[in-house]
Structure 1
Amino acid sequence: MNKIEKIFLCLIDNLEEGIHIVDSEGKTIYYNETMARMEGQNKENIIGKKIYEYLDGVEEESSTLMNALKSNQKIVDVLQHYSNHYKKDIVTINTTIPVNIDGNTIAALEIARDMTQLKELNERICKLEERSTSKKRNYKFSDIIGNSKVIRKAINKAMRSSLSNSSVLIYGETGSGKEVFAQSIHYNGIRKDKPFIAVNCAAIPSALLEGMFFGTVKGSYTGAENKKGIFEEANRGTLLLDEVNSLEPYLQSKLLRVLQDGYIRPLGSNKIIDVDVRVIATLNEKPEKLIEEGRLRKDFYYRLSVIRIDIPPLRERKEDIIEFVNHFIEYYNAILGKNILGIDKCVLENFYEYDWPGNIRELKNVIESAVNMADNNAVLTREYFESKLINKTYNDFNIKDESLTHYLERIEKKIIELTLSENGNNISKAARKLKISRQKLQYKIKKYDLNIE
């Protein structure tokens, strides 16, 4: 063996992928350490054997190595599920390549990626999600917090869409409440008594998603069993595809066909199954950007966005912050057995200045942390919050490039918003609290274009 051959063997023996090479008769001539660990074998015992001689339930006609030898065709990303003689379950994704010399197929090389733990983990997650879904509260429109113009506009559009069967695309930044909207559309709509199934497309490998979506029939790949797909399970109900842009383009194409044709074909089956499923999809990045970058098919986007709902980030609806704060204080008082009385006005002013990149989810976590740290019967003051949130007070004259008049108007507007929210938008009560006349407060509400519906 020359130096190059030794280097080559050292290389493939230390790859994270399993490598299996058979000769023209299907007998193993090379089997690396990774493949041996993956399949629970001693590699010295495999040399010279055909695959069905050491693996249970693998027939010659179902072996990708034998099929590549016979067809002289490359086989790409095939899911394999099988067992060894020790009854160890193995799940891999394999690419198999025939090796040709002078037109003759002399060998086949298989590259395998181990998916066993990933599949087991995914199945556990699915079972946990099924259990939690059965116990989880189902959101309705009455659960959506906020009275700002922008959120009311989104809610009104979502309420109209709940009476339709058309596909819905919800765009919103992470933490802005997309699933609450999606559930509200379903449980307020004509399918409310039918299944609602949510799939986090970013959390599940693409190689497993196709079988999950469309189902499998026995023999569609090594070890496959008859199993219903999510579309069949959600028939006559709603399927939520969360972060749908995470799907590979080929899966987007397959889903597009299902949406257009109204039927699925399980993996390995010639039979088609009619399905009536309403799809709600969510994106946490702007669809225009995703299309431009090639991460979202344009035709798939148009099919999903028959109705498009954009959820505004918290920084564009800051007048709703006080409502969220009060709600989360009440919620965590109940969960943590506390009696937090409220939040300091100076802290709230800082909340209005902060941009909340994590949106509602970030605000919820901030309040949870503060309630945990605060003494019982306390008001949440600045000591209970991180410095990034509490960086100024009303006495900080940090007006940068703006005029003093503009700065004071900005502060006045926020104080009026806060006082109105604390008094249920009752103008008379808020005016008494601010110690100004009702007419003067009405003038300022109009001046600052405040929404007090």
Structure 2
Amino acid sequence: MKTGGTTRAKRQVYFNNKGKEITTVNDSFPITEDGIITGAVEIAKDITQLEQVIRENVMRKKNTKFTFDRIISQSEEIQNVIEEAKRSTRTTSSVLLVGETGTGKELFAQSIHNGSSRSNQPFQSQNCAAIPDTLIESILFGTTKGAFTGAIDRPGLFEQADGGTLLLDEINSLSPPLQAKLLRVIQEKTIRRVGDTRDREVDVRIIATINEDPIDAVQENRLRRDLYYRIGVVTLIIPPLRKRKRDLPLLAGNFIQKYNQLFHMNVQRMNEDVKTILFQHDWPGNVRELEHMIEGMMNRILGEETIEIYHLPSRFRNRLSPDREPVRHEGAPSLPRKLKTRMAEIEKSYVEQALEESGRNISHAAKTLGISRQSLQYRLKKQRDANDS
């Protein structure tokens, strides 16, 4: 208002009334009436989310640390996938990694990049499910100044990954129009920034991931058929943890050592009963769930060197009952009856103590134990039958 000047595409950072950092791009203009400046107007575009995504992508680019020799497995299923993935490093063909959440798809993607001739070039990655359609297009393809209010010249991930690799995680989350644009980029090897009129050549290898059967995704219109054919030139199917349980002790030992270093602890082993419970679980969250479980158990340890049953998360401890026969799995420790016997002894001791304290009154003892009278009578009968046998 003092100078009568205008400002365009000025980046500003401030904290709102909730203490959250906000980043905006602002255009400011004076308002004149009869040649006199009477006010000013400012148009601000919030780019906080876009800035965050860009920072995350820069960090990912610097953090491509995984190689094939860091994939922990002794199962034939994973070894076969590793061999196929190694062969794919010789070419620049697109790769589709198929696997449930938590199976290690990004680990394989980084290993393919680091094992290829592009290893010294950029590696960019983007989770397609984490960003709304209104932002993902500009993040992937870039923007041109003037395309919309506050837009500036900024390269997208394709340009940033030029000469290297671009990982598109959960590609089935992209909308059909964006999938069509992505297909054109892959086929033509050119991109057009949002708001631009010219095409730019890019040399990028695409690695995509999907957390469901791609055939189902195509049939249910979550993945374009032509895009699937184009990105699935090399398709690697990563098996879930429940189909490679012989890797459980190896993976668990690796995570124990990882958190020993992080937490400055000295855990050396797992109780055999704990190993049995690990083999009984189906691991819907796969390797990621196992890692989080190990981390949680080590948070409960106070100076011990062995992970015991009472360190297990409550959802696992609550499943245990004295009359439950553990399901055996190939490679599981052969001590299931030891756990059953131990828990039966603990229950018998608790019941006997409650009866003594209540003067052998069944109703009072049941109330103390937090169970019904009928349930206590059933347990007493079961104990008598076990003694008679």
* TM-score, with length taken from structure 1: 0.63
Q: Distance in 2 between matches of 1:366 and 1:333?
A: 14
Contact 1:350–1:392, Cα closer than 8 Å, also in 2: no
Tell me what 2:48 maps to.
Answer: 120
1:90 aligned onto 2:44:
yes
Contact 1:314–1:359, Cα closer than 8 Å, also in 2: yes
| 1:267 partner SS | coil
Unaligned 5+ segments in structure 2 are 1-5, 10-24, 30-39, 335-389
| 1:414 partner SS | coil
Tell me what 1:139 maps to.
Answer: 66
| 2:208 partner SS | strand
Choose the corresponding residue for 1:235, options 162, 182, 200.
162
Tell me what 2:106 maps to.
Answer: 179
Structure with the larger RCO, 1 or 2 (CA within 8 Å, 6+ apart): 2
Contact 2:275–2:332, Cα closer than 8 Å, also in 1: no
Map 1:299-448 to 2 at 5 A.
Answer: 299-390=226-317, 391-392=319-320, 398=325, 410=328, 413-415=331-333
Q: Deviations over 1:38-66 (max 9, x none)?
A: xxxxxxxxxxxxxxxxx9879xxxxxxxx
Following superposition, the deviation at residue 87 of structure 1 comes to: 6.7
Unaligned 5+ segments in structure 1 are 1-54, 59-80, 92-115, 400-406, 417-453
Contact 1:122–1:204, Cα closer than 8 Å, also in 2: no
Count of matched residue pairs: 305
Contact 2:275–2:333, Cα closer than 8 Å, also in 1: no
Q: Distance in 2 between matches of 1:143 and 1:123?
A: 32
Following superposition, the deviation at residue 131 of structure 1 comes to: 3.5
- Same amino acid, percent of matched pairs: 40
Distance 1:221 1:329, change over 3 A: same
Contact 2:166–2:206, Cα closer than 8 Å, also in 1: yes
| 2:147 partner SS | coil
Tell me what 1:101 maps to.
Answer: none
| 1:152 partner SS | helix
Q: Distance in 1 between matches of 2:289 and 2:306?
A: 20
* TM-score, with length taken from structure 2: 0.73
CA RMSD, 1 decimal: 2.6
Following superposition, the deviation at residue 200 of structure 1 comes to: 1.1
Distance 1:278 1:344, change over 3 A: same
Distance 1:308 1:163, change over 3 A: same
Following superposition, the deviation at residue 137 of structure 1 comes to: 5.3
1:249 aligned onto 2:203:
no
Q: Distance in 1 between matches of 2:238 and 2:226?
A: 23
Following superposition, the deviation at residue 392 of structure 1 comes to: 4.7
Aligned residue type for 1:305: G
Contact 1:175–1:360, Cα closer than 8 Å, also in 2: yes
Contact 1:245–1:283, Cα closer than 8 Å, also in 2: yes
| 1:366 partner SS | helix
Following superposition, the deviation at residue 223 of structure 1 comes to: 3.1
Q: Deviations over 1:83-126 (max 9, x none)?
A: 465675534xxxxxxxxxxxxxxxxxxxxxxxx3xx31231232
Q: Distance in 2 between matches of 1:139 and 1:370?
A: 26
Map 1:44-193 to 2 at 5 A.
Answer: 83=27, 89-91=43-45, 116=46, 119-131=47-59, 133-134=61-62, 136=63, 138-193=65-120
Choose the corresponding residue for 1:283, options 210, 217, 222.
210
Q: Deviations over 1:246-266 (max 9, x none)?
A: 111101001101111111122
Following superposition, the deviation at residue 225 of structure 1 comes to: 2.0
Following superposition, the deviation at residue 218 of structure 1 comes to: 2.2
Contact 1:373–1:384, Cα closer than 8 Å, also in 2: yes
Distance 1:127 1:87, change over 3 A: farther
| 1:192 partner SS | coil
| 2:284 partner SS | coil
Q: Distance in 2 between matches of 1:128 and 1:303?
A: 28
Aligned residue type for 1:191: R
Q: Deviations over 1:390-433 (max 9, x none)?
A: 4459x86627xxxxxxx7xx4685237xxxxxxxxxxxxxxxxx
Tell me what 1:203 maps to.
Answer: 130
Q: Distance in 2 between matches of 1:381 and 1:87?
A: 66
| 1:147 partner SS | coil
Aligned residue type for 2:151: A
Distance 1:286 1:82, change over 3 A: farther
| 2:66 partner SS | coil
Contact 1:333–1:339, Cα closer than 8 Å, also in 2: yes
Tell me what 1:6 maps to.
Answer: none
Distance 1:196 1:411, change over 3 A: closer
Contact 2:168–2:207, Cα closer than 8 Å, also in 1: yes
